[in-house]
Structure 1
Amino acid sequence: MTIDVILPCLNEEAALGWVLGRMPDGYRPIVADNGSTDRSAQVARDHGAEVVHEPRRGFGAACHAGLLASSAELVCFMDADASLDPAQLPRVAAPVLGGRGDLVLGRRVPKAAGAWPPHARLGNAVLAANLRRRTGAPLHDLGPMRAARRSALLALELTDRRFGYPLEMVLRAAAAGWRIAEVEVDYLPRTGRSKVTGTVRGTLRAIADMRRVMSA
């Protein structure tokens, strides 16, 4: 069985080689390039990945472009910045494959100092607590490594195309009665500067996007 892995990408040339080189057998990478100005697309092709170009800027836009381009029954999402190890994708996919969950998120466990800045970790914890109260889902992390059935995801009709996309996915899945679970995955220091936690502007933009999704 082939599982498609969607990797939203914006200028991740330095990280992509490591990420794609550790992709497990049976996991087919789809790099959703969101307007990179470096060699990300070429590096992805050199490592055998399918490249989808999404000119509309936004994390959700890239994720959704990858979802539309996928063809596998089961799809995974993960960041392309080397902060997550693709070798651990089977941990996240297993509950869905085994019929024990409909949406499974990787709960990040930092493995090195600096992997998860304190302000970002605190913000994530507050968001996860709000999600538990609102949905009843036993989540402690809005993890970017996740797995679900492609057809079911498309049926959710996600509309956010910015940083609210992962949150909207959880909210709509909970509203649809999905079984939502999480499993632990390693969290590593990313390669390069984060588009979210790496700048004040990026952090504020992500917070605003998620507040908008929560209020909607």
Structure 2
Amino acid sequence: MTDVVLPCRNEAPALPALLTRMPPGYRAIVVDNGSTDGTAGVAREHGAAVVTVTEPGYGAAVHAGVTAADPADGVVCVMDADGSFDPGQLPLLADPVRSGRADLATARRRPVARGVWPLHARAGNVVLARRVRHRTGLRLHDIGPMRAVHREALLGLGLRDRRFGYPLELLLAAGQAGWRVTEVDVDYHPRAAGTRSKVSGSVLGTVRAVRDMSAVLAR
């Protein structure tokens, strides 16, 4: 069984549809990171394991979920829980890692409709991805919030960022470690009604994410 870590903060409206579409052989771990909308209860009602994290931040939630994942399978996935990704596409990322063709598989978002990916968020992503390519030589175009990786290898990197800089720190550390990193095209959908992205949902959210990631680049 492959565990899928879903960092959540007030994602209750998106969870029913998301959790019922998990592909066979994949188990959801919802990491409740300070939700006030009953996220944890909705997750349990739909069969997900729930981990509660009091430390705020995307990186804190992901790290807690990866730590809680069952080591038996070896591979762990991470995916945003706002309904913007199709869990049916998780094998596209997990299979290259499980077969040994890649150490890390990350998603390259392909919007399914106009306006799905706001211009301010896309522009920030382009700048950061360019800096990652320059720093690491990895041929990546997205700092995407959907990925698959060997659990023990990920924990072995000793990532420190507990905020929005976590995905960027992972890519930089993977490049430094000589990992084989592959980028996989995935569909990028509008978020579920009643949810709001903590990054792309507002200019302020994007600015905060770029700030956190810039701090990682400066270290």
TM-score of the aligned structures, taking structure 1 as reference length: 0.97
Q: Name the structure 2 match of 1:203.
A: 206
How far is the alpha carbon of 1:195 from its aligned partner? 1.2
Letter in 1 for 2:59: G
Q: How many residues align?
A: 215
1:59: which partner in 2? 58
> Structure 1, residues 31-59: CA drift from partner, whole Å, max 9, x if none?
01001000111111011100000011101
After superposition, residues 87-98 of structure 1 pair within 5 angstroms as: 87-98=88-99
1:50 aligns with 2:49: yes
CA distance change for structure 1 residues 214 and 173 in 2, over 3 Å: closer, same or farther? same
Task: Please give the residue correspondences for 1:16-165 in structure 2 after superposition, counting only pairs within 5 Å.
Answer: 16-72=15-71, 73-165=74-166
Unaligned runs of 5+ in 1: none
- Per the TM alignment, residue 201 of structure 1 is displaced from its structure 2 partner at its CA by 2.6
- Which deviates more from structure 2 when the two are superposed, residues 50-59 or residues 118-127? 118-127
Aligned partner of 1:194 in structure 2 is 197
Quick one: distance in 1 between partners of 2:112 and 2:196? 18
The one-letter amino acid paired with 1:194 is: S
Helix, strand or coil at the partner of 2:70:
coil
Unpaired runs of at least 5, structure 2: none
CA drift at 1:199: 2.6
Counterpart CA distance in 2 for 1:40 and 1:115 is: 24
Whether the aligned pair in 1 keeps the contact of 2:59 and 2:166 (CA below 8 Å) is yes
- Which amino acid counterpart does residue 49 of structure 2 have in structure 1? E
1:167 CA drift (Å): 0.6
Indicate if the aligned counterparts of 2:82 and 2:196 stay in contact, CA closer than 8 A. no
Q: Tell me, what secondary structure is at the counterpart of 2:41?
A: helix
SS of the counterpart of 1:14? Answer: coil
Take 1:25 and 1:194, find their aligned partners in 2: how far apart are those partners? 27
Stretches (4+) displaced over 3 A = none
Which segment drifts farther, 159-168 or 195-204? Answer: 195-204
SS in 1 for 2:88: helix
CA drift at 1:203: 1.8
Deviations 1:69-116 (A, max 9, x none): 111310000000000000000001111011110011011100012210
Distance in 1 (CA, whole Å) between partners of 2:75 and 2:31 is 17
The Cα RMSD (Å) is: 0.9
Partner residue in 2 for 1:184:
185
